[in-house]
Structure 1
């Protein structure tokens, strides 16, 4: 069918499919539709092609019973095999060996946190990597992803594309060096001069306009609008950008991207976001020496 089925896990903190569908259609999708030029949250052209179409589908008990036997134990919080359940059909962005690769990029915070201290030498995302060290294979600072040129993004693109084939055990699926070079160039071009750049710039505009003050500046009263916009901004900071590049023996034949993980964040997470921001400030993650954590785009000119 060219689509994948998403089924809710059923836990207390997990959104139901109907909640996900409602949030996507009424809160997320409108942000990618064209609007008046004086509204920074709206793009000048329709960018919904970068969104995954969400189609609700009612799964009958016998279908749920089958799914329940196909997953690891405790995947579902409750035995869902005895009841109906709404699922969501999404486009399948999986790669096809020999004809396409799919790269997952996490844009994260494309602008500095409004609550970052003066003199910060790393962005919000890189600061989190200092506070909570993570695996950094092929990590790229979000600000570099957005503002970098062809030469600065080339090493990351080469490593990212090569990884797609290094993990493939079938040597017959590995294209020629010329095709790999074409894939690398296509990815760089997509993110620096093509649709990928336009999408990243729109995400930047959304994040900045929806959260101009930062979570630590939450008003003590009448915070409904602030909370709503903050939840939208944080949703867009936690999404994934799936880039699918098609190719044949002659080179690249097409490239597209879709945003995933766009479930509208719950207001219950606001306290956690505030705690994380305070933690970054208290442990000095924004300002610690440049030798700690990954290289941030803000550190240009600091001798690193």
Structure 2
């Protein structure tokens, strides 16, 4: 485990809020002064990394548990280049660290999501350093997307005409009485349908939807991203692991058996994020496209199984797997989902 005494003094570093979820907050700690012999180690710990810390009053797993699961269940199953690296960080002056992070959080309270406002950092001595996948240079194109369910749910009926992810989107949109978003995310199966050099190249519309709100893709970035979709091994590997660890689906899993542990891992792999960075100065078609999986926290199967089962039943019994309501795809044919 890495150790630091405390954060650098306020006149030597800037603490910037990056993002948050229900259980964690992420900051960028930017050292603004050249490293000296005394603080050189601290400088290099935060260089190219983000600081992730837990929120107070949550029931999430401890960072020790999360890191142990990541190292034992995730790391052995992917090449290092496929993963956002993470490591624990221990500080010996927790009061100083937590108070400064909470001050940074309080300063932007008005801009936070309404249900997150007022929440603060837990008083802990452990944080997590996570590799920073933001821009290295201002001309880099960076974005993230959730691969979601890269294979059909084992719970879906044989007559299903919509994949699990798109069925869930249709269900949510109908419950909210909303029309389709102007630029929906691509269907996960569509991304895999381009994963051969002999398949038709992905359309510019699909690439734009995948990049989302990132800066507009330059012709070079779009060409290299298209080549990555046709040649990458990351998404097929993620799909294969999802299938391997959940062959029966939440409705049929034995909650007291080994299948429960495997389902937890499958659900982690279905809820991760893929972070993509495309430097502007890349070379050939696929050169310079860096794609890594993050947000691979261990799922609490005991606490989540009821929700997982309720969701699957709602999709099947509500007819959303067979096309009811609006969706971002229109059906599954020959094992591949056809994107709209």
The reply to whether TM is greater than 0.5 is yes
Tell me the secondary structure at the aligned position of residue 297 of structure 2.
coil
Residue pair 1:104, 1:240 contacting (<8 A) in 2 also:
yes
Task: List runs of 5+ in structure 2 lacking aligned partners.
Answer: 1-46, 110-115, 174-179
Structure 1, residues 70-117: CA drift from partner, whole Å, max 9, x if none?
01456675664xx44210001110124533111212110011001101
Residue pair 2:148, 2:188 contacting (<8 A) in 1 also:
yes
Equivalenced residue count is 270
Corresponding residue for 1:208? 243
Residue pair 2:282, 2:288 contacting (<8 A) in 1 also:
no
Question: Which protein is richer in strand relative to its size?
Answer: 2
* Structure 1 position 117 matched with structure 2 position 151: no
In structure 2, C-alpha distance between the alignment counterparts of 1:29 and 1:135, rounded to whole Å: 36
Task: List runs of 5+ in structure 1 lacking aligned partners.
Answer: 33-46, 167-178
Q: Are the structure 2 counterparts of residues 204 and 71 from structure 1 closer, same or farther at C-alpha, using a change threshold of 3 Å? A: same
Corresponding residue for 2:205? 155
Return the structure number with greater relative CO, CA threshold 8 A, min gap 6: 1
Corresponding residue for 1:265? 299
* Structure 1 position 192 matched with structure 2 position 192: no
Structure 1, residues 95-153: CA drift from partner, whole Å, max 9, x if none?
24533111212110011001101211110000001111274624100000111344344
Residue pair 2:272, 2:295 contacting (<8 A) in 1 also:
yes
Matches within 5 A, 1:175-186: 180-186=218-224
Corresponding residue for 1:41? none
Give the Å deviation of 1:161: 5.0
Matches within 5 A, 1:1-304: 1-32=47-78, 47-59=79-91, 60-72=94-106, 80=122, 83-96=123-136, 98-133=138-173, 135=181, 137-148=183-194, 149-160=199-210, 163-165=213-215, 180-193=218-231, 197-219=232-254, 223-248=256-281, 254-267=288-301, 268-289=303-324, 292-296=326-330, 298=332
Residue pair 1:49, 1:258 contacting (<8 A) in 2 also:
yes
Residue pair 1:143, 1:297 contacting (<8 A) in 2 also:
no
In structure 1, C-alpha distance between the alignment counterparts of 2:338 and 2:81, rounded to whole Å: 39
In structure 2, C-alpha distance between the alignment counterparts of 1:274 and 1:248, rounded to whole Å: 47
TM-score, normalised on structure 1? 0.80
Residue pair 1:99, 1:247 contacting (<8 A) in 2 also:
yes
Q: Are the structure 2 counterparts of residues 224 and 136 from structure 1 closer, same or farther at C-alpha, using a change threshold of 3 Å? A: farther
Question: Which protein is richer in helix relative to its size?
Answer: 1
Quote the RMSD (CA, aligned, Å): 2.8
Mean alpha-carbon deviation: is it higher for 146-155 or for 236-245? 146-155
Residue pair 1:9, 1:75 contacting (<8 A) in 2 also:
no
In structure 1, C-alpha distance between the alignment counterparts of 2:306 and 2:189, rounded to whole Å: 26
TM-score, normalised on structure 2? 0.72
Q: Are the structure 2 counterparts of residues 2 and 224 from structure 1 closer, same or farther at C-alpha, using a change threshold of 3 Å? A: same
